[in-house]
Amino acid sequence: MSRIGDLPIAIPEKVEVTVNGQQVKVKGPLGELEKTFKPGININVSEGEIIVNRNGEDITARSMHGLVRSLIEGMVEGVNKGFEKKLEMVGVGYNAQVQGKNLKLEVGYSHPVIIEPEGEISFEVEKNTNITVKGIDKQRVGDTAAKIREVRKPEPYKGKGIKYVGEHIRRKVGKTG
């Protein structure tokens, strides 16, 4: 019994959900998302809510039940409100700029690093050090933010690098001598 999978998903007023077999289309004020799920899960739309049920009690259906419900809930929230991840840059001379749709990072390398957005992802930069990644697809927003962080991970001695806002970096003590 999946505690998450059994919960219905409320559909907001501005959001339109279409189910065609295993394919789910969610359309809202911010855009449209489409995803196809594996067989073994039934998705029904009725009276302003989405209900996810599984066909049998085999292990794949049970394991997919809660996952499918969470993914659909993320799609509904994404087209209605959107998702964002915030990162901050720590270090002397580190800065970021938006050039067209691309993000240009200067993080101590001999060349600037340019990151191109995937799909509907957009970037915002405040004070040259705070980066916000926005989009309607939760997975793409997280992947893009992780890609940006990967350019210069925070190092444990001084904490220089790109980190998520609110992320705690474990610090090490330097050499004594």
pLDDT tens digits for range 110-145: 998 898 888 888 888 989 889 899 999 889 999 999
The number of distinct structural domains making up the chain is: 2
The answer to whether 165 touches 88, Cβ cutoff 8 Å, is: yes
Give the CATH number, domain containing residue 135: 3.90.930.12
Domain presence at residue 177: no
Considering the domain architecture, whether residues 90 and 150 belong to the same structural domain is answered as: yes
pLDDT at 86: 93
Domain presence at residue 38: yes
Task: Give dist(CA 43, CA 24) in Å, integer.
Answer: 8
Considering the domain architecture, whether residues 62 and 104 belong to the same structural domain is answered as: no
Residues 6+ apart with CB under 8 A from 93: 106, 108
pTM for this model (two decimals)? 0.82
Considering the domain architecture, whether residues 66 and 124 belong to the same structural domain is answered as: no
pLDDT tens by residue, 30-85: 888 888 888 888 888 888 888 888 888 888 878 888 888 889 888 888 888 889 99
Considering the domain architecture, whether residues 88 and 77 belong to the same structural domain is answered as: no
The answer to whether 130 touches 88, Cβ cutoff 8 Å, is: yes
Considering the domain architecture, whether residues 102 and 36 belong to the same structural domain is answered as: no
Considering the domain architecture, whether residues 97 and 151 belong to the same structural domain is answered as: yes
Considering the domain architecture, whether residues 77 and 94 belong to the same structural domain is answered as: no
Considering the domain architecture, whether residues 65 and 106 belong to the same structural domain is answered as: no
Q: What is the DSSP string of 138-160?
A: HHHHHHHHHHHHHHTPPPTTT--
pLDDT at 9: 84
pLDDT at 177: 66
Task: Give dist(CA 138, CA 136) in Å, integer.
Answer: 6
Whether the pLDDT of residue 6 is over 60: the answer is yes
Q: Which of 98, 67, 79, 90 is nearest to 138 (CA)?
A: 79
3-class DSSP state for residue 168? coil
pLDDT at 91: 83
Q: What is the CA radius of gyration of the chain?
A: 21
Whether the pLDDT of residue 99 is over 80: the answer is yes
pLDDT at 174: 83
Considering the domain architecture, whether residues 38 and 100 belong to the same structural domain is answered as: no
Domain presence at residue 9: yes
Considering the domain architecture, whether residues 101 and 56 belong to the same structural domain is answered as: no
Domain presence at residue 102: yes
pLDDT at 1: 54
State which of 36, 56, 81 marks the end of a domain. 81
Q: What is the DSSP string of 37-57?
A: --TTEEEEEETTEEEEEES--
State which of 55, 81, 107 marks the end of a domain. 81
Whether the pLDDT of residue 2 is over 70: the answer is no
pLDDT at 132: 92
- Domain with 65, as residue range(s), is 4-81
Could you say which DSSP state residue 58 is in?
Answer: S
